[in-house]
């Protein structure tokens, strides 16, 4: 059976935005300055992806492990997140971009939770592009909450244990109605996925950049997209099968 060749443009790009603190330290600035500088990179990457024809962009903004960072840094991040939501939501809406936020919101301040809901509601009908932000998100947490949903269905008698499949577990994950990520980018020179979209990234192409996130702008994003376009995605098959030489 012939498998389609790698599309020139990924439908879904996921990014681990790493290196804000190190960017700031190299400039003898506080860590929060790096996070503020990273906002301009977010704008640049959104613009580049949308222009290239990417349908979904998922950004790892705050992991479930990031609460372990110094309290003053976490507080500054929460303030920056709130400010960004209020400042950027209207711009996203004006550009036809739908905002979604995935993760466990229960730990966030009620004011921040309300701002999330308002920004999502404002942009909910937009169809040009989906920006998905992972906040207090962890891949292991995502799989656990999906398993809990299925367990409750079993408990109610709606599903038999042997009826649990990869497909119905995947349907319970965050962003299940969106295409799976085709390309995962990590900036900052680290080569790991750090508990990000563990299930969803099973067959994603991985791309690692030495650039710190605030320096990852249009040119760097275009380079990542070009690298993706040069690859062949085999999904466990051989090159010959993908190319249609064998069946």
Give the active site residues: 18, 66
Q: What is the DSSP letter of 244?
A: T
How far, in Å, CA of 26 to CA of 194, rounded? 23
Q: Which residues pair with 132 in a beta bridge?
A: 58, 100
Q: What is the DSSP letter of 103?
A: S
The bridge status of strand 129-137 relative to strand 183-186 is unpaired
SS3 annotation, 113-156 = HHHHHHHHHHHCCCCCEEEEEEEEECHHHHHHHHHHHHHHHHHC
203-217 core/surface letters (b: 16 or more CB in 10 A; e: else): ebbebbbebbbbbbb
State how far the alpha carbon of 142 is from the alpha carbons of 91, 104, 204, in Å.
29, 9, 18
Residue 17, classified by CB atoms within 10 Å of its CB into exposed (0-12), middle (13-18) or buried (19+), is: buried
């Amino acid at each position: 059976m012939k498998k389609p060749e790698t599309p020139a443009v990924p439908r879904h790009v996921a990014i681990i935005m790493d290196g804000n603190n190190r960017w700031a330290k190299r400039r003898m600035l506080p860590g929060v300055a790096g996070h503020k500088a990273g906002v301009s990179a977010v704008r640049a990457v959104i613009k580049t992806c949308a222009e290239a024809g990417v349908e979904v962009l998922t950004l790892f903004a705050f992991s479930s492990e990031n609460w372990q960072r110094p309290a003053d840094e976490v507080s500054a991040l929460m303030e920056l997140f709130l400010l960004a939501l209020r400042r950027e939501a209207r711009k996203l809406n004006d550009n036809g971009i739908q905002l979604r936020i995935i993760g466990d919101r229960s730990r966030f301040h009620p004011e921040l939770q309300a701002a999330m809901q308002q920004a999502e509601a404002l942009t909910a009908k937009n169809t040009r592009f989906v920006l998905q932000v992972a906040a207090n998100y962890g891949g292991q947490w995502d799989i656990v909450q999906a398993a809990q949903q299925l367990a409750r269905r079993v408990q109610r008698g709606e599903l038999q244990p042997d009826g649990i499949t990869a497909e119905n577990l995947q349907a319970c994950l965050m962003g299940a109605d969106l295409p799976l990520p085709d390309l995962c980018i990590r900036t900052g020179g680290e080569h790991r996925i750090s508990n990000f979209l563990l299930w969803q990234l099973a067959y994603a192409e991985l791309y690692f950049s030495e650039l710190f996130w605030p320096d990852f702008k249009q040119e760097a994003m275009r380079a990542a997209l070009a690298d993706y376009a040069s690859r062949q995605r085999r999904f466990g098959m051989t090159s010959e099968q993908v190319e249609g030489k064998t069946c």
